[in-house]
Structures are given as C-alpha cells and as structure tokens.
Structure 1
C-alpha cells in the first residue's frame, strides 16, 4: 500500500520579507521534518532551530509535534522589544 502524504506550509517572516513554502510529507511527520524538507533553513541560514520558537497556526508547539494535513508551521523570530516594557514606556510618556 502506498504511503499516505500530507500537505503543509512552512512560514517565516522578517520585516522586509515574508515567505510561505508548501511541502508534502509522509503522514506522521513532525514540525522539524517540515522545516527541514521545505528548504527554509537553506534560504534563511540565520534560523537556529535550537533557539527559535515554532508553532502551528499561532499556537506554540515543539519541534517533535506531529503534523496534520494542511497545518501551517510558523517559525518565530525573537522579539526586539518587550511588549510589556513598550506599553509601560508609552504610558509613562502620556
């Protein structure tokens, strides 16, 4: 019997560029499998999987999370500014 394949997207965004890559993987594949197969690590060598956070449709997950058909894997960049600190600073100025 043929191996069942699933289709997923891998998304990454920088301020100047946003990319969504489609890939097909065997059923049971993980977030890490999708990231590697998509080729996004070659396109953006600054992505360090040991350091970045990842998610599926805005929900944080681990690299070993098993994917489902049509999932969108998202790779998150570190925040440049702490949102809480930014709000405090803005409130103090007002």
Structure 2
C-alpha cells in the first residue's frame, strides 16, 4: 500500500501544534484530522471541538474536506470558529475611539 507524508496543523492564540503523519494514499482531509488525535494535544478544549471543524490546505478553505483526497506534502489546517464577527469587532473598536 502506498503511503504519503502530510501534516495537520492547529493553533490557539498562545501555542500551535503541527503533527506530521504518514497516511495511506487516498486519505481525506477529515480522516487526517482524526488520525492526528488533536484532542489529546489540546485537552483544554471541549471534546467536540475537532468533530466537524472547517479545514483548509495552506490557507485555502476546503469546501468538502470529507472527500478531498490528500497529496504528499499537504498541510491540513484546522480552523477555530470565530468568537466575534470581524465586522462587529471593527465597529466596537471604532465606537471605543470616540
């Protein structure tokens, strides 16, 4: 069976983790995240934080990570949900300047 080397990346404001994996050819982005076992690396997060996150490759969001097949050298990025809408944050900062 052919295997490829990939990475799975996740970051919190204070730290990040990039996990190198060797996976079977044909592994999807979603499967790679499961194989990376991120909950064990970030036990402070709720267990479901990694169950269906937005995923991307090198900064580009994947529309269907459950069917996107990875290629050698890919880095799957696990994105955190937004705490506040960026437009609302900008409006709040603008209002605080007054």
- Under TM normalisation by the shorter chain, which class is it? 0.7 to 0.9
SS at match of 2:50: coil
Deviation at 1:55, TM superposition (A): 1.0
Alignment match, 1:57? 58
CA distance in 1, matches of 2:58, 2:79: 12
TM-score (normalised: structure 2): 0.79
Q: Secondary structure at the match of 2:19?
A: strand
Counterpart Cα distance in 1 of 2:21 and 2:84: 32
Long gaps (5+) in structure 1: none
CA distance in 1, matches of 2:55, 2:76: 7
* 1:1-94 to 2 correspondences below 5 Å: 3-44=1-42, 46=46, 47-50=49-52, 52-61=53-62, 62-64=64-66, 65-92=68-95, 93=97
Partners of 1:35 and 1:41 within 8 A in 2:
no
Please give the root-mean-square deviation of Cα atoms over the aligned residues, in Å.
Answer: 1.7
Question: How many pairs were matched up?
Answer: 91
Q: TM-score, normalised by structure 1?
A: 0.82
**In the aligned structure 1, how far is the partner of 2:26 from the partner of 2:50?**
23
